A = this chain, B = another copy of it.
Amino acid sequence: MTLTQVSSSKVFAGLHQQFTHVSAVNNCTMKFAIYLPPQVQQGQTVPVLYWLSGLTCTDENFMQKAGAFKLAAELGIAIVAPDTSPRGENVPDDTEQSYDLGLGAGFYLNATESPWQTYYNMYDYIVNELPEIIQNNFPVNKQQGISGHSMGGHGALTIGLKNPEKYSSISAFSPICNPTKCPWGIKAFTAYLGDNPTLWLEYDATELIKRNIADSNKLPILISQGDSDNFLAEQLMPDNLIAAAEQNNYPLTYCLEVGYDHSYFFISSFIEQHLRFFNSNLTSK
Contacts and interface: CB of A to CB of B under 8 A. Distances in A.
B228 A10 contact: yes
Contacts of A269: 10-13, 69-70
A254 interface: no
Interface residues of A, number: 22
B64 A261 contact: no
A265 B16 contact: yes
Interface in A229-285: 259-261, 263-266, 268-269
A260 B65 CA distance: 18
A9 B263 contact: yes
A67 interface: yes
Contacts of A9: 260-261, 263, 265-266
Q: Decide if the interface of chain A is mainly helix, strand, loop or mixed.
A: mixed
Report the copy number of this chain in the oligomer: 2
A65 B69 CA distance: 12
B67 A268 contact: yes
Nearest to A66: B67
A51 to B, nearest CB: 16
Interface in A9-43: 9-13, 16
A9 B264 CA distance: 10
20 contacts: A9-B260, A9-B263, A9-B266, A10-B228, A10-B259, A10-B260, A10-B265, A11-B260, A11-B266, A11-B268, A11-B269, A16-B265, A64-B64, A64-B264, A65-B65, A67-B67, A67-B70, A67-B268, A69-B265, A69-B268
| Interchain residue pairs A-B with the least CB separation, the first 5 | A11-B265, A67-B67, A9-B265, A10-B259, A10-B260
Given A11-B265, A64-B264, 15 more contacts: A9-B261, A9-B263, A9-B265, A10-B226, A10-B259, A10-B266, A10-B269, A11-B266, A11-B268, A11-B269, A16-B265, A64-B65, A67-B67, A70-B268, A70-B269
